Amino acid sequence: MDLQAGAAEIKRAKHLHSVLLFDFIVIHIFVFLIAVSVITTTIIPMILMPLLSIASLGYVLLKARQARTQEPSWFVRSHSLLAAKRARLFLALFLVTGTFTAVMFFGGTKMGFSPIATKALAFGLGQLPFMLSLLVLVVLEFDAEHQCSSGKVPAAAAALCPPPKEA
Q: Domain limits of the chain?
A: 8-158
Residues 39/106, Cβ–Cβ less than 8 Å: no
pLDDT along the chain (167 residues), means of 10: 74 91 91 83 86 94 92 87 93 89 86 86 82 92 90 83 68
Predicted pLDDT of residue 167: 38
